[in-house]
Structure 1
Amino acid sequence: MNASRLGFHPQRVSDGSAVIGGAMWLAIVVGGPFRRLELLLLLAPLVLVPLLLGMIPAEGGREASSRWYWCAVLGQPIGALLVTASFALDHGVLAGMLIVPWGAVTLSMALWGLERLLPRGLEPLSELSIDAGLLYITVGSCWLLISRLGMNPLGFGDPIVFFTGIHFHYAGFVLPLLAGIAGRALSNGVWRRIYTFSVVTIVFGPGLIAAGITLSPLVEVVAVTALTVGVVAFALVTLLAIVPSRTNRFQQAALTVSSLAIAASMVFAFGYGLSEFLGRTLAGLQIGTMVAFHGHLNALGFALCGAVGWRVAVPASYSVCHAPFSSLTADGRVGADYLERNGIVGPLSPSGQMDDLAAYDRPDFDSGAVHPAIRTFYEHTAEYELRYKATWHPGFRTGARLAKRLTMRIEQLDLPVGANSQRTDSQIVDIDDSVDGRTGVRAWIRTDTETGNAVFVAAYATHKHDGETYMNIGLPLPWCNLSALLWMDTIETDVDSAGIRLSSRTRDEQGNEGLYLITPHLPVRLPMCEDFRVWPASVDAPQAPTTLRTDDTALVAQHEMWLFGQQFLTIQYAIEHVGSTNESPESKRRS
């Protein structure tokens, strides 16, 4: 569903719903039969949820066309209205059934959050915070449903069940979203580091508090303490770094009130949590006091003022990667005959991973500075033979041995586990662009010289993003593929010409680089990165490998990979020029 094509604009729809919901909420406050806590809860679905939903997508961004996003935006008014109707009834089946549509709305929000999170990964933290809020609110709707049904799971009374529902609508949803939106407006520096700490506690704090309520008072008080410190830190960052950077006076005033309110609110929450842990009341902090101070400060002071304040001028959103990915997949096996077996060989006869290294030129990268031997390798890859040695780092060797059984079977990414070096032949084959989905695609097929089995089958192409050309590699796997988007740079050597570096490491700017698992439904950014460096064999660079060099070695290379920041694999290469042919490995062996 693409409601924007029907003339709906997400921010206008959400703003309209928030205005109507605000009028309804005020009418209920004046003449409705609801208690104070119920009124504070109703403020979230009627006003805060639509107001915040409209601020998340980038202006004109693709994520605003997500079917899950539009299910949430268009379903929110109905769900909020039925939640309000539920509180006009006594606890029971009918009151609970009226909550179900709101549960469907929050489920759509959670699915949209996953749709945002998986292709982007855990960074930046501002967007992770927003995604956490979109996921947490589903927990709030579940507890709200349980409360309205009149159920008391785990022996909890209705107040605790209802408070948990409110907790996940405010601390679980509104707080992470406002923290995420604020983070978009914060530049790098010391305040950014404090913000990082605060967001980590905001993202994980609500879940830990809920676990503490269920499992242990000690866990609860530790979680409340951590969240209190984190939220107060966030309030300070907003007051001292973000508010002065905004130019609208109304926005400055609203964000100031919001920050002061949440700081004061968390002091009450900490005092109440400590009272519960010690088993005695401190400074008169009983449940009634919590409702009167903590609840109102959170809902009206922090949440409402913060949402209205940010709506005046919404910071630009992080751009999710929308690079063209290969659509190639395999059945149970890849193998050296993958292209022929699937009938996707193209009509051209390329000889290298790329036609011209100059395609990667940009203001800070000049292909003319690259050593001629490296350029020849990339433009005429089929003329080279590779000897390589893979080193699995401690902690990953057992996993590598287990993975070896699978990679041998599917003949893809079949790296050795032992200490011996191996040799591969190279073949470059054109691929039918209409099957792959990208343009200028060619496969680099590397086969073991002794066995003829495929070691590496990858489809190479390029794409541009913000004026920069990326190497775009797709490796077919059973029913999915592994895609690598790499930026290129030069590395200094002890001669006039430079070496080359290809990397998926994230840089400061919003680039496309990364490793992705491409599934039938959406790309999933993996918590992995890689660096590939190539030097002329004649240079003495500090990181250039030496163990495999011989008199015939033209180039040396080193490939390093990390998982969650931990290096798990290093591959060293010696690259030799063997002739100007592009024969298949089978033909080479026959000759």
Structure 2
Amino acid sequence: MKANLKHSLFSPITLAGIFFFLASSLFTAEPYLLMLTAAQLIFVPLMLQLLVEVKRKHIIFTWMTMLAVFLLSVVPSSTGQIILAFIYLMFTFFVALYGVKRFFKRGFTNWAELPIDIGMMYLFVGGLWFFAYIAGVDTGFSPLITWLTAIHFHYSAFLFPISLGFFGRLHDSNWYPFIVGSILAGPMLVAIGITFWPLLEFISVLVYIFAIYSLIILAFRTRFVTNLQALFIRLSYVALGITIVFSLLYAANSAFGSWFVSIDFMLMFHGFFNCVVFGMVGVIGWVMAPPPSKQTDWNFPVSQIRGKLKGAGEQRPGLVDNLNDFVDVKALPNTIVHFYEQTERYQLVASVKWSTWFKPLAWCYKWVSTQMQQLNLPISSKPTEMTFTIRAVDSKLDGRKNPRAWVRQVENQTVFVAIYSQHETEGRTYMNIALPLPYSSMIGVLQLDAVNDGSLVLSSEGEGDPGIYLAAGKTIFKLPLSEYFIIKATGEGGLTAEHKMKIFGVPFLRVDYRIDESGFASSGPT
């Protein structure tokens, strides 16, 4: 811990930041302005050093940015100040780009890393408001409110989400995702409320308060690397718990005019606690022992086919050659095994049921899916026969093991093109399904499990590889989608299947299938 603290606090970037901050304090007329300067020169660079592998180019660019922030307090020329503020704006822009890059390397898969990504993106918003303040841009607010918004996005929208992300690397519970969602939405909701609807500002602060106090409770239940770190982090969160109450009173004053909390009071009390207790103490707490990320890289194969499928080869009898590769077939009825290995012998009748809340979006999406001839499901819930064929795909084009395309149609309209393959990770075999899209491919990695009642479950939810991803170029991005299939044998020798999909955990689609053996011939053309 001591070694890491010494390394971070005495790094070239941190020493330069402290030097420029002390120099700035000699030329700053209003002491409260130093709260933002402290974030720009010390707190933000310190936190970034815990997230980015610092190279020589990073050091030089950060020094240039720090010099620009310092010179703002001594350069009288408005043109010069605009140029200096623009340099800082570019710094925040590149931090935001790094946050975007982190996000697209992983996607919606890790609640601890998500606030770190979003926090880095929010910093650019803070940079924009700071530039507007220095350049005298008419934002519709007074210069002081513009400056307060800039400091809001440095502390509440950058430092706090980064701290929350580090905390998530140590703690995992059902409450944590709610806290993350509330805190990440808070800065934007408050800003919108201030601009357009004071009541929204008041409501969002209430939600924010509940999230912060939930975080304080979790922090006292979480084990940190050291007792000293636990003291610092808990103290920083308690400071937020105190200052947020006065933010509520200030928001109530804006919305209802019932309580009077002046900006001067907020600057002195709220600003001091956020800058010194939350900012300085919290940052030092994480610098003592920054928790490592638990995110692992995905190494499973991904289809290289993009756009429309071309060059489908000879016919294949089933979606898989041997279902036993995925699951113990002894626990399943023969009908389920036969369907997957001899799929061409079966007939599918589907009933599509969109959730009521999603139907307006489904109608909009229908036009796009019809043009793509992909994921082109009917809007009506009327039972509809789906004809299909299964064709081999050139493994050299696809890049995966023994791929085959399942092309489904409704009345000669292609509704679904899925290229089936498989891969093995740590002794378990997964279905690896690609749905070609323009310039990309949607990848579904499903794990198969036999249930006690003889049903087969295929799910994108599970530890490790399972999930739904978007592959574009070399980037694999996990989508906030999940799917769940359950297939059962019926007494008549057929099958039923239920396919459910969710977005951000909210159900939006259900497809019920009736599957019956219909003969040896393919039931439809490509």
Q: TM-score normalised by the shorter chain: which range applies?
A: 0.7 to 0.9
- The answer on 1:491 being equivalent to 2:491 is no
RMSD (Å) for aligned C-alpha atoms = 3.6
The partner residue of 2:310 within 339, 344, 349 is 339
Q: Encode CA deviations 1:145-188: one digit per residue, 9 max, x unaligned.
A: 1111133421x222221111111111111111112211221132
Residue 103 (1) aligns with residue 89 (2): yes
Amino acid at match of 2:421: A
Question: Given the alignment, which residue of 515, 519, 525 partners 1:578?
Answer: 519
Query: Structure 2: which 5+ runs fail to align?
Result: 1-5
Q: What secondary structure, in the 3-state scheme, does the structure 2 residue paired with 1:99 have?
A: helix
Task: State the match for 2:323 in structure 1.
Answer: 357
- The equivalent residue for 1:19 is 14
The whole-number CA distance in structure 2 between the counterparts of 1:232 and 1:177 is 17
> 5 Å matches for 1:22-101?
22-25=17-20, 27-28=22-23, 31-33=26-28, 35-56=30-51, 75-90=61-76, 92-101=78-87
Quick one: higher RCO (CA 8 Å, sep 6+), 1 or 2?
2
- For residues 164 and 48 of structure 2, the distance between their equivalents in structure 1, rounded to whole angstroms, comes to 14
**Distance in 2 between residues matched to 1:308 and 1:569, nearest whole Å:** 49
Pick from 292, 295, 299 the counterpart of residue 319 of structure 1: 295
Residue 546 (structure 1) aligns with: none
Secondary structure of 1:180's aligned partner? helix
Structure 1 residues 74 and 233, CA, compared in 2 at 3 Å: closer, same or farther? Answer: farther
In the TM superposition, what is the alpha-carbon distance from 1:383 to its structure 2 partner?
Answer: 4.2
Instruction: Choose which of 288, 312, 329 in structure 1 pairs with 2:306.
Output: 329
SS at match of 1:79: helix
Given that 1:17 and 1:47 are in contact with CA atoms closer than 8 Å, whether structure 2 keeps it comes out as: no
CA spacing shift, 1:167–1:459, aligned 2, 3 Å: same
Could you report, residue by residue, the CA deviation over 1:328-350 in whole angstroms, capped at 9, with x for unpaired residues? 122xxx4xxx432xxx75xx975
SS of aligned partner of 2:112: helix
Instruction: Report the Cα distance in structure 2 between the residues aligned to 1:81 and 1:390, rounded to whole angstroms.
Output: 61
Residue-by-residue CA offset, 1:277-297 (whole Å, 9 max, x unaligned): 666985xx5434333332222
Pairwise mapping of residues 547-562 of structure 1 onto structure 2 (< 5 A)? Answer: 553-562=493-502
Equivalent pair of 1:268/1:293 in contact (CA under 8 Å) = no
Residues 41 and 66, structure 2, Cα contact 8 Å, conserved in 1: yes
Question: Which position in structure 1 is the counterpart of 2:468?
Answer: 515
Q: Where does 1:112-123 land on structure 2 (aligned, <5 Å)?
A: 112-117=98-103, 120-122=106-108
Question: Which residue pairs with 1:261 in the alignment?
Answer: 239
Q: Is 2:404 the partner of 1:426? A: no
Deviation at 1:141, TM superposition (A): 0.3
Number of residue-to-residue matches in the alignment? 518
CA deviation map 1:9-50 (0-9, x unaligned) = xx9899835422443256326755464233221222222223
Partner Cα distance (2:369, 2:138) in 1:
50
| CA–CA distance in structure 1, aligned partners of residues 273 and 469 of structure 2 | 43
Q: Residue 485 of structure 1 contacts residue 515 of structure 1 at CA under 8 Å; is this kept in 2?
A: yes
The question of 1:295 aligning with 2:271 is answered: yes
- C-alpha distance after superposition, 1:92-134 (max 9, x if no partner): 2211211223222222232333334456555544333223312
Residue 435 (str. 1) matches residue 430 (str. 2): no
State the TM-score, normalized to the length of structure 1.
0.76
| Contact map agreement 2:122 2:158 (CA 8 A) in 1 | yes
Distance 1:90 1:170, change over 3 A: farther
- 2:212–2:237 contact (8 Å) kept in structure 1: no
1:501 aligns with 2:487: no
> How many Å apart are 1:374 and its aligned residue?
2.1
**Residues 584, 70 of structure 1: CA spacing in aligned structure 2 closer, same or farther, 3 A cutoff?**
farther
- Equivalent position to 2:343, from 381, 384, 397: 381
Q: Does residue 1:186 correspond to 2:171, yes or no?
A: yes
TM-score, L = length of structure 2: 0.85
Q: List runs of 5+ in structure 1 lacking aligned partners.
A: 1-10, 58-63, 539-550
Q: Which amino acid aligns with 1:291?
A: L
Q: Residues 481 and 517 of structure 1 are in contact (CA less than 8 Å); yes or no, is this contact kept in structure 2?
A: yes
Change (3 A) 1:466 1:115: farther
Structure 2 vs 1, CA of residues 91 and 139 (structure 1 numbering), >3 Å: closer, same or farther?
Answer: farther
* Alpha-carbon distance, 1:214 to partner: 2.3
Distance 1:136 1:86 in 2: 22
Worse-matched range after superposition: 122-131 or 398-407: 398-407
SS of aligned partner of 1:302: helix
Distance 1:402 1:211 in 2: 27
SS at match of 2:132: helix
- Aligned to 1:129, which of 111, 115, 119? 115
CA contact (8 A) 1:18 1:48 kept: no
Cα displacement string for residues 52-109 of structure 1 (whole angstroms, at most 9, x for unaligned residues) = 224347xxxxxx79xxx99878744432332222232237221121122322222223
* Aligned-pair CA distance for 1:140: 0.6
Say whether residues 1:371 and 2:311 are aligned partners: no
1:440 alignment partner, SS class? coil
CA distance in 2, matches of 1:14, 1:480: 44
1:395 Cα offset (Å) = 4.7
Indicate the SS of the match to 1:531.
strand
Q: Could you say if the C-alpha distance between residues 562 and 33 of structure 1 is closer, same or farther in structure 2, counting changes exceeding 3 Å?
A: closer
Encode CA deviations 1:382-429: one digit per residue, 9 max, x unaligned: 444434343444455565566555545544334344424314243231
The C-alpha deviation readout for 1:342-376, integer Å capped at 9, x for no partner, is xx75xx97543233333335xxxx34423333223
Which amino acid is the alignment partner of residue 458 of structure 2? L
State the secondary structure of the residue aligned to 2:320.
coil
Select 1:213's aligned residue among 194, 200, 203. 194
3-state SS of 2:295 partner: coil
Label 1:159 to 1:486 Cα distance change in 2 as closer, same or farther (>3 A). Answer: same
Q: Percent identity?
A: 28
2:143 matches 1:163: no
Query: Residue type of the partner of 1:184?
Result: R
Is the CA contact (8 Å cut-off) linking 1:210 and 1:220 kept in structure 2?
yes
